[in-house]
């Protein structure tokens, strides 16, 4: 449906690249196309860190401490991280470390750095620039649903099957900068009904909801992955309210800027045009967001960034960040592959510098 619509309009599209097996690999079976990827892939055909990397790490000697909440990164007096404090079943423990790598994502990584403030680092760790928590981003992710004469059956196959990046780059003819990706995107019945019954300004309810869901098989959807520009006003900060560990909770502040709004408007128009070219009648436009990024941005200048290009914090040589919080811009593509590439880069860097970290640790102890 999506590719037909694109073709009629001269828009280039392609089968979406997915981290899902099409043939047996490393003991995992191929995808059976039943389409429950968002609920968890029971055959393990779909990639996840949990089923791919963690078992390999355990085999290589790693120990996983589950159900633990890290409450603080512990610092030595010499400006080197010496480990973390964590709580397990009500008891606080200390884990010593040569290198501390935070991978707690866009909200919890900045929160942990801010909550680890001490006399030497009163504004939080790795925060001499003042950028910890700033410039968090999402992807604008509006969904446009159209009804067709023929059956679409959105539940079949993996949710994202086809994609176009013809609108990815800045086009000087547009009234906004940067661009977006569009995906054909299957939606399961519960997700579909939740989305349209909670739409701001016009929730679909009662008879209309029932009629829509009875005709679920005739709906198709296109989803936006829109680049959102970074703004320091969008940020993670701490509030006085405490969680069950006595740690200040995070407050997330975010709103779209003018460029983001114009991009969304342009994208929704194109999504509707593609659906109509494919023979559909647009019925629902559902606002949504996806993929949080930023909050500990990467950069060469320690005055305006938190980590260098290896994920190493500028302020503390043996403290690394390895997650989407180090993104500087959001791009307009799903971010997981970039997170994985950066993780590989960080891992290779740490391996290369292993000796130096041994020396740091010796000094610190």
| Site residues for ligand SF4 per CB under 6 A | 20, 31-37, 41, 43, 45-46, 158
**Sheet-wide strand order for 81-88:** 69-75, 81-88, 91-96
Ordered DSSP codes for 127-166? -TTS-TTB--EEEE--EEEEE-SS---TTSS-SEEEEE-T
For residue 73, give the H/E element and its range.
strand 69-75
**Is the CB of 35 or the CB of 226 nearer to ligand SF4?**
35
Minimum distance, C-beta of residue 18 to ligand SF4, in the bound complex (Å)? 8
1 versus 41: smaller Cβ distance to ligand SF4: 41
| Three-class DSSP category at 236 | strand
CB of 314 to ligand SF4, least distance (A): 40
Helix axes 336-352, 354-364, angle to 10 degrees: 70
Q: How far is CA 52 from the centre of its chain?
A: 18
Does residue 267 contact residue 226 with C-beta atoms inside 8 Å?
yes
Nearest to 137, CA basis, from 361, 327, 284: 327
Rounded least distance, CB 155 to ligand SF4, Å: 10
Which residue's CB is nearer to ligand SF4, number 1 or number 37?
Answer: 37
- Alpha-carbon distance of 343 to 311, in angstroms, equals 8
User: Which residue, 18 or 113, has its beta carbon nearer to ligand SF4?
Assistant: 18
Which is closer to ligand SF4, CB of 14 or CB of 32? 32
| Choice between 76 and 157, CB closer to ligand SF4 | 157
Measured from the CB atom, is 37 or 321 closer to ligand SF4?
A: 37
Question: CB of residue 280 vs ligand SF4: minimum separation in angstroms?
Answer: 24
User: Which of these, 343, 330, 293, lies nearest to 107 by C-alpha position?
Assistant: 293
Shortest distance in whole angstroms from residue 103 CB to ligand SF4: 24
Which of residues 43 and 189 has its CB atom nearest to ligand SF4 in the complex? Answer: 43
CA–CA dist 268, 143 (Å, integer): 8
Burial of 209 (0-12, 13-18, 19+ CB in 10 A): middle
Min dist CB 163 to ligand SF4, Å, is 16
Nearer to ligand SF4, 29 or 203 (CB): 29
Work out how close the CB of 46 gets to ligand SF4 at its nearest, in angstroms, rounded to a whole number: 4
CB of 32 to ligand SF4, least distance (A): 5
Q: Which of 60, 54, 50 is nearest to 351 (CA)?
A: 60
**Cα–Cα separations (whole angstroms), residue 4 to 154, 277, 312:** 16, 8, 46
Residues in the chain: 365
CB of 365 to ligand SF4, least distance (A): 46
Hey, how many other C-beta atoms are within 10 angstroms of the C-beta on 351?
8
């Amino acid at each position: 449906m999506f590719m037909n619509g694109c073709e009629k309009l001269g828009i280039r599209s392609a089968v979406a690249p997915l981290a899902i097996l099409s043939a047996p690999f490393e003991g995992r079976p191929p995808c059976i196309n039943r389409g429950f990827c968002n609920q968890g892939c029971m055959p393990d055909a779909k990639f996840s860190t949990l089923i791919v990397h963690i078992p390999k790490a355990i085999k290589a000697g790693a120990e996983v401490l589950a159900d633990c909440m890290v409450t603080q990164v512990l610092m030595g007096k010499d400006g080197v991280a010496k480990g973390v404090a964590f709580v397990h079943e009500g008891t606080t423990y200390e884990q010593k470390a040569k290198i501390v790598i935070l991978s707690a994502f866009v909200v919890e990584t900045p929160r942990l750095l801010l909550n680890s403030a001490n006399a030497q680092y009163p504004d939080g760790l790795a925060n001499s620039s003042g950028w910890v928590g700033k410039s968090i981003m999402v992807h604008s992710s509006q969904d446009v649903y159209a009804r067709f004469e023929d059956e679409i059956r959105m539940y079949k196959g993996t949710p994202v099957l086809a994609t176009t990046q013809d609108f990815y780059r800045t086009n000087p003819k547009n009234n906004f900068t940067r661009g977006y990706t569009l995906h054909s995107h299957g939606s399961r019945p519960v997700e579909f009904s939740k989305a349209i019954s909670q739409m701001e300004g016009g929730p679909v309810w009662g008879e209309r909801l029932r009629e829509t869901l009875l005709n679920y098989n005739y709906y198709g959807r296109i989803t936006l992955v829109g680049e959102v520009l970074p703004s320091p006003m969008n940020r993670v900060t701490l509030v006085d309210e405490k969680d069950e560990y006595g740690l200040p909770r995070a407050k997330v502040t975010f709103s779209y800027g003018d460029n983001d709004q114009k991009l969304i408007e342009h994208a929704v128009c194109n999504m509707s045009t593609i659906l109509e070219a494919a023979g559909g009648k647009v019925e629902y436009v559902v606002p949504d967001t996806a993929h949080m990024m930023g909050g500990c941005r990467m950069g060469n200048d320690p005055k305006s960034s938190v980590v260098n290009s290896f994920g190493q914090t500028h302020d503390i040589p043996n403290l690394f960040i390895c997650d989407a919080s180090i993104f500087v811009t959001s791009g307009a593509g799903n971010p997981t592959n970039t997170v994985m590439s950066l993780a590989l880069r960080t891992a290779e860097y740490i391996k290369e510098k292993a000796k130096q970290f041994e020396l740091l640790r010796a000094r610190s102890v």
